[in-house]
Chain A
């Protein structure tokens, strides 16, 4: 816990520490761990294990993988942990206005909502989708990690809706603070925030 507090004080992006956050961090950053494992295997010359890491870790589908060049520059073991947590905290979570009755959502439904295909919640309330500007790292990471698609795909689909008249794009806000404010004041609103930017005015929607 001391290490957590030290990290939090020195790397302000890290979320307040909770025991399960470490487990999540390990799960989310399995790519990093696998990478370190391979390097360690090479270092102590167990080539066979290095090659068999797919068997140990499973085939990765993570979009963001750390480059070798970054890893080479990491000298201090604490820096590795800091990096682990900072990349973890970039994957934003889905939040909704408290008026939304459901507490979980499937990734497929979420993708359809952010693709502006589903326009109403099951109880009939209209959905208002908020996004950060494209090219924003939080936006890009959210699209990749939480929706499982590439930002350019989604943007092209929005353009198709706009310029054929068959739909409307989501509303783009400038910052996460504005996002939280707009979602809190718009019934039926949905968006995403990094965990450190949550408060009671909005509600977390668990992705299954």
Chain B
């Protein structure tokens, strides 16, 4: 399955970035005046650890979750940031993650970049970042692996798919950003030109249906986000979009030819915050365009548009206790919402219910101290649109109606 993992270009890039960051920090500390090196206020280290238990009645999510449940959902992260100059900050985060059979279990550089704020005053600031940067998509993508910031154990899967997470996670390149402040309003913007991370087999599975003989490479891509914020987040509105360009290069004996794949998601986000309530909603349209010579596309479609949205309400009972309710919908193809056409064309090997999902969720949060948090959540799900193939290799043995229960314990510092 993963024969070529060791010799992929992106891994070299990983190492290269890691070394640059590490030696950059070491040299920086040695060369800088001693006052900076000992100034603990300017260097900060933070981290998180979380472990979840997942139980499903049918279908597997995060490991073999049916029956006795699964403990194969672990997230460990440690980050450091150093404000070297008032205008310059270096940041990096290492991440280790186990999520059933999704992803590789290696320590990854989640992000590592230099941030230079070239202009700032009371009304606005603008800057630039170089390195591996979190993709600014939606409200939660930047911090999707930090359980404390997520609104539940599992993010709304219609938009924050587990199985394409690597593609969405972070990219290597540069970003321009800024913020304008006028009275109680804030307008933030980010524009990124970067190469998406595609070394994961999972991206191939998600886009091409299986781990194919060839290789997916990331090309120069664009990601942008505009966030409007009223009164420190009382109302928050955002539009984010991306044009992710990938190139499929066939392997030896590959029946498919080479070709480009273009993924263009557009996400509209809105959030309202009061002292007790947080109401959140996001709507996304996901456009896929496949090159003519790629044959691994369901229905031999060259153009597919997916649609996702969710509505979510969180209520803070006290500082320690909170409740959450969410309705989350995803369609893989807006021209075939029920999946009937696909099922007919594939003679039932790809069931229709794999083309949509409707998920009702209720959850509770208990936070005994600022550092510790426990969450529990129950899902009632119709459809398997976001069910990871990696945990369910035989698609004829999946079920349309299923339930998921999960408990998560998280610690941070």
Contact = CB atoms under 8 A, between A and B. Distances in A.
Contact of A153 (B113, B181, B232): B232
B184 interface: yes
Contacts of A156: 149, 233
B321 to A, nearest CB: 13
A205 to B, nearest CB: 14
A164 B273 contact: no
Contacts of A169: 44
Interface string A30-52: 00000000000000000000000
Interface string A97-132: 000000000001101100101111010101010000
A87 interface: no
B233 A153 contact: yes
Interface-centre pick from A122, A147, A166, A167 (highest chain B CB count, 10 A): A166
Interface in A117-172: 117-120, 122, 124, 126, 128, 133-135, 147-150, 152-154, 156-157, 159-160, 162-169, 171
Given A159-B143, A162-B46, A163-B79, A122 B316 contact: no
B183 A165 contact: no
Size bracket, chain A contacts: 35 or more
A165 B122 contact: no
B121 A122 contact: yes
A128 B41 contact: yes
Interface-centre pick from A112, A148, A153, A163 (highest chain B CB count, 10 A): A163
A149 B93 contact: no
A102 to B, nearest CB: 10
B86 A165 contact: no
Contacts, number: 100
A148 B231 contact: yes
A21 interface: no
Contacts of B86: 119-120, 124, 126
Interface in B37-66: 41, 44, 46, 48
B232 A115 contact: yes
Nearest to B179: A117
Interface residues of B, number: 44
A63 B276 CA distance: 12
Given A162-B46, A163-B143, A157 B89 contact: no
A122 B125 CA distance: 12
Interface in B177-223: 179, 181, 183-184, 186
Contacts of A124: 86
A171 B370 contact: no
A113 B348 CA distance: 59
Nearest to B142: A164
Nearest to A149: B232
B79 A150 contact: no
A147 B44 contact: no
A168 B181 CA distance: 20
A65 to B, nearest CB: 12
Interface in B71-122: 77, 79, 81, 83, 86, 89, 91-93, 111-113, 115, 117, 120-122
Nearest to B43: A168
B148 interface: yes
Interface string B131-149: 0001000000011001011
A159 B146 contact: yes
Nearest to B177: A166
Nearest to A144: B275
Contact of A111 (B48, B115, B117, B232): B232
B231 A119 contact: no
Contacts of B233: 149, 153, 156-157
Contacts of B234: 149, 153
Given A118-B120, A119-B120, A128-B41, A163 B232 contact: no
Interface of B: 41, 44, 46, 48, 77, 79, 81, 83, 86, 89, 91-93, 111-113, 115, 117, 120-122, 125, 129, 134, 142-143, 146, 148-149, 179, 181, 183-184, 186, 231-234, 273-275, 316, 319, 370
23 contacts: A108-B181, A111-B184, A111-B232, A112-B122, A112-B181, A112-B186, A117-B181, A119-B86, A119-B117, A120-B120, A126-B86, A133-B370, A149-B231, A159-B143, A160-B149, A163-B46, A163-B79, A163-B146, A165-B91, A165-B112, A166-B142, A167-B81, A168-B83
Given A150-B274, A166-B129, 7 more contacts: A150-B275, A159-B143, A159-B148, A162-B81, A165-B79, A165-B81, A166-B91
